[in-house]
Structure 1
């Protein structure tokens, strides 16, 4: 899983540079394989913005974007990771500054994904899927 930690609103001004950084990084790793990046996104309005669609269309040789069905958080690993992050961030010691909060979020994401590496401008996190067992309990693995 790749992620970025940012401040402010999640909009095309955040998402397009992230996609650009992601495609450049993955291209540098897989250039010899002649593959495209396949991005799976949820239904957030920013994912459907004209500027985002235009950028993806202009870079169709490097990236494809696919949408999850509506109202399907169980298919979205970001939802599980985000819930874990929120639970951890709200039950621990409160961050005193914005920079402390950003660092705490990055630290959590790296701890939750121990095989993480840090490419330029983005962070790569291999994600182990979690199956929901019952309310609040998860099992690692497929």
Structure 2
């Protein structure tokens, strides 16, 4: 698979979307704690482990598309997400750049992409690419916050954060200004 060059995308009137997935857990502990001198600090964590997965794409124009779901990424979820991308593009072609997650290369995904080749074209970043996927910056902002302890709260907090990003394209465009992302801009 080739990675679309911006001039090719421009000539075709297409959008380049950088995609990635991430998993969030309610028992993850981040941040600082405090304890008086000579005492060990304690952070109480629920013993119920809740999880949430998110797939998202972003463009250097500040557009964000996302889907939150339970469980692990599979071909059906990825195809559904790509169908939504195509529908949202309103006739524009999409060049989708993904990492090398195994599900991206499954037979159902390849068959669906072949059937929709005039609407969407997917390509993969090289393994251990020195240039970060701009979506890694988005993942960092999502996971930097302290996780919610209940699954519904975790989903609400994540979706709320992604909605705020959806309404702030300037912030997304700034991700592409990071020195490690010069190739993606």
TM-score of the superposed pair, with normalisation by structure 1: 0.70
**What SS class does the counterpart of residue 39 from structure 1 fall into?**
strand
**What is residue 120 of structure 1 aligned with on the other side?**
none
TM-score of the superposed pair, with normalisation by structure 2: 0.55
**What is residue 80 of structure 1 aligned with on the other side?**
137
Runs of 5+ unmatched residues, structure 2:
1-57, 59-64
Structure 1 outlier segments of 4+, above 4 Å:
none
**What is residue 53 of structure 2 aligned with on the other side?**
none
Structure 1 counterpart of 2:154, from 71, 80, 101: 101
Runs of 5+ unmatched residues, structure 1:
117-124, 134-141
Distance 1:111 1:60 in 2: 32
Distance 1:126 1:57 in 2: 34
Distance 1:23 1:44 in 2: 21
- RMSD, matched Cα: 2.4
2:82 is the counterpart of 1:19: yes
Residues 37-81 of structure 1, C-alpha deviations (whole Å, 9 max, x = no match): 111111111111111111000111111111111112633012221
Within-5 A mapping of 1:48-87: 48-72=105-129, 74-87=131-144
Larger gyration radius, structure 1 or structure 2: 2
Q: Is the 8 A contact 2:165 2:171 kept in 1?
A: no
2:70 is the counterpart of 1:7: yes
